[in-house]
Amino acid sequence: MNADLNHLNDILGRVRQEVGKVIIGQEAVVDKALIAIFTNQHALIEGVPGVAKTLLVRTLAHVMGCEFSRIQFTPDLMPADITGTNVFNLQRNEFTLLKGPVFTTFLLADEINRAPAKTQSALLQAMQERLVTLDRETHALSPNFTVFATQNPIEYEGTYPLPEAQKDRFMLKIRMECPDRNEELSLAKRMLGADSPEKTLERGEVKAVITPDDLIRLRTELESVIVRDELLGYIIDIVRATRTNASILVGAGPRATQALLLASRVAAALTGRDFVTPDDIKTMVFPVLEHRVILRPEYEIEGLSVSEVIERVLHEIAVPR
């Protein structure tokens, strides 16, 4: 492994170590969140309340030395509550920009599916272009701007499905499950004293490992991770197969191909390798494709799940040697 990747691997290890002081278990979830950050993309986090979705993002922002903002999405939330608005200043006799919480580096869109599509769409330009347009004037966001949107399972009451255009802008869908018994026991013991995860973060025991400028430089080091031509073809074949499968109504688009490629490259770096393997691709297929694929209604009625269909697609594609 070259010097750049050794440096990157060292940074990733330190980030994991610091996050681990607050987040108990959830190693795979932390890795997927790091994949979204180091590819400069966005992630959708799904899980029942109380599994530390918000705490995870707060901790990552602290460890990365990045600014953090949180928006609680509700049915009455308006787009201007997210982007901001121009307010007339009587003293200066001019309009002044009152920036919304979107002007940050790490944005937690909490329970995003509790707001209607009109409000959800306020994030589209920011997620795609890292720009916000207010009253025909465009404002730039941080080059590291990252949205982590949490959502409750869609079958819960009072939720709205995300528009397809917005779901496609999330690189990954990260599922946060409840901790296992030993992890939950460890959490319970910490809550009895002064060592709870929230207090650990508030006391400053978690160190910032890098700065926002470092994050930009580290992304360039990922370019040295090798992806063979056969694996590029493998990625393309997987994504294209979702468009022709009889069980699938809407398959993944070209943005999914790019997401799977970038995610696989960071997944390889996380394991200390400077080359991508088919296993890296298979690991990232589900978080990259699951939220982008829509099944035909007749197959949903039969109880078929998206993950089962993606599994079948994988079995139909020849794995490069």
Residue by residue, pLDDT tens for the chain (321 residues) are 566 678 888 888 888 888 888 888 888 899 999 999 999 999 999 887 777 888 899 999 999 989 999 999 988 888 888 988 888 777 777 777 888 899 999 999 998 888 888 888 888 889 989 999 887 888 899 999 999 998 876 556 667 777 777 788 899 999 888 888 888 888 888 877 777 777 777 777 888 888 888 888 888 888 888 999 999 999 999 999 999 988 988 888 899 999 999 999 999 988 888 899 999 999 999 999 999 998 888 888 888 888 999 999 999 888 887
- 8 A C-beta contact, residue 269 and residue 9: yes
Q: What would the CATH number be for the domain defined by 225-321?
A: 1.10.8.80
The superfamily in CATH containing domain 3-223 is P-loop containing nucleotide triphosphate hydrolases (3.40.50.300)
Other CB atoms within 10 Å distance of the CB of residue 164: 12
Other CB atoms within 10 Å distance of the CB of residue 146: 27
DSSP string, 93-131: TEEEEEE-TTSSSEEEEETGGGS-HHHHGGGHHHHHHSE
The encoded tokens of residue 64 equal: 């990365």
Q: Identity (one letter) of the amino acid at 315? A: H
How far is the CA of 297 from the CAs of 237, 243, 294, 311, in angstroms? 25, 16, 9, 19
Place of tokens 């799977």: 260
Residue 286 neighbours by CB under 8 Å, 6+ apart: 307, 310
Q: Identity (one letter) of the amino acid at 70? A: R
Residue ranges of the chain assigned to CATH 3.40.50.300: 3-223
The whole model's pTM is what? Answer: 0.88
